[in-house]
Amino acid sequence: MKRKRLVTAGAVAVLIIAASSLPMEGQAAAEGVFVQPAPMMTAVQSAEVNGQALSEAAKTGVGTGPIQEEPGGGSVQAPLRDTSFQQEHPAKVYYRDKVIALMYHEVTPGQKNKQSLNAAKFERQLILMKESGFQWITMKQYAEFVLHGKSVPPNAVLMTFDDGYESFYEYVYPLLLKYRVPATSFLIVGTIDHPQHAGIPKLSWKQVREMHASGVDFYSHSFDSHQYAPLDAAGKRSKAILRGPVYSKQLGRKETQEEYAARVRRDLEKANAVLREKIGNDMNVIAFPYGVFSPSLLRICKDLDMRVSFTVLSGINRPGGLNGYRVNAGGADNDPERLIEVMKRGAVPGGKTTAGGKAGAGRPAASQQKPPNPQGVHLRIAED
């Protein structure tokens, strides 16, 4: 016997089905919160299963998103990308025509390490955001906002998760479904389905496709450039390899600017191509590894039609700011109540400042910042 997760109307049901009755492709297929019945399951059986899950959702109150009519009768909840339930006039407005992007890395039960976030704290954040009137938006909404000035709801929040950890599927995805939260995961694309790759276990394409069908978006965190490299043979200084030329053992010297640009182009183009092939992406977005960037990197991204990007610099986003700020909402020292207070102040962390460019770095209060230039490139560049 094999356990199969069925998600309907925001509730998570466990369906016990003989392994032979589900083809491998059917296991990953999900649209919104409805799992397409396997060919060997009758329509009556499918309706009974979905009806039970809908009834359970009604009892628990989980799943507050819009309900859509299914062809042929019945109703299922819309995918996470459907944000039509947003309010133009929430009870409390903290900011308008701006977006706070929250940044997360690993989310696990308990406290795995100082960089991870306890899943209970993450759920508490979601509850407080919902109670406080914050409104989650999709990456498409965010891109239309920064690129074209399209409207977003008051108190708009974009949820982003870096690195593509397997724990995202295990612990974050069920909570996104439970609370109807659209979200984006930035993948180190070359590590997906490569369990032998060094580091924390990453997602599989089967898991990515299942979550994408339910409304989770996936974009680039590079193909395989989430690393530092030395600047010379001595190796005493290093740099994030997307930011600029680094020392090449193969060449026995530091790269030229042209060699650097060609290497970065290959990496970013490959990541975008794989995402198009695997999940049909029609838009290119990147979160820079470690949040560091340079004028050269931004020019390459522009040439590759990667007009929307993200740093780890803290702040709030406005139309025209294509290299986006993100507020770090993870880590062992996160306090959900304090995070909400910072968000209510428009992502101004009480005047605290830290050096820019490295992961987890903050940024001076928004009132002290220069706005993005008309081309959307922030005037402050991350330092070595």
Cα separation, 219 vs 228, in Å, equals: 21
The distance of Cα 192 from the centroid of its chain, to the nearest Å, equals 15
99-368 in CATH: which number? 3.20.20.370
Gyration radius of the chain over CA positions? 21
Q: What is the mean pLDDT of the chain?
A: 78
Q: Of 207, 216, 201, which is closest to residue 158 (Cα–Cα)?
A: 216
pLDDT attached to residue 383: 30
pLDDT attached to residue 253: 95
Q: Tell me: pLDDT of 19 over 80.
A: no
pLDDT attached to residue 78: 67
User: pLDDT tens digits for 279-336?
Assistant: 999 999 999 999 999 999 999 999 999 999 999 999 999 999 999 999 999 999 999 9
pTM: 0.74
Q: Where are the domains of the chain?
A: 2-77, 99-368
pLDDT attached to residue 77: 58
Look at the block and give the residue holding tokens 């296991």. 27
Q: Are 356 and 291 in contact (CB under 8 A)?
A: no
Q: For the residues 208-229, what does the mean pLDDT come to?
A: 97
- 133: exposed, middle or buried (Cβ count in 10 Å: 0-12, 13-18, 19+): middle
User: pLDDT tens digits for 335-362?
Assistant: 999 999 999 999 876 544 433 333 333 3
Q: Tell me: pLDDT of 69 over 80.
A: no
User: pLDDT tens digits for 161-174?
Assistant: 999 999 999 999 99
The neighbour count for residue 305, using CB atoms within 10 Å, is 9
Cα separation, 275 vs 17, in Å, equals: 31
Number of H helices, E strands in the chain: 10, 19
pLDDT attached to residue 75: 42
Q: Beta strand 228-230 with 99-104: parallel, antiparallel or unpaired?
A: unpaired
Cα separation, 128 vs 117, in Å, equals: 16
Q: Tell me: pLDDT of 60 over 70.
A: no
Phi-psi region of 287 (alpha: psi -120 to 50; beta: other; left: phi over 0): beta
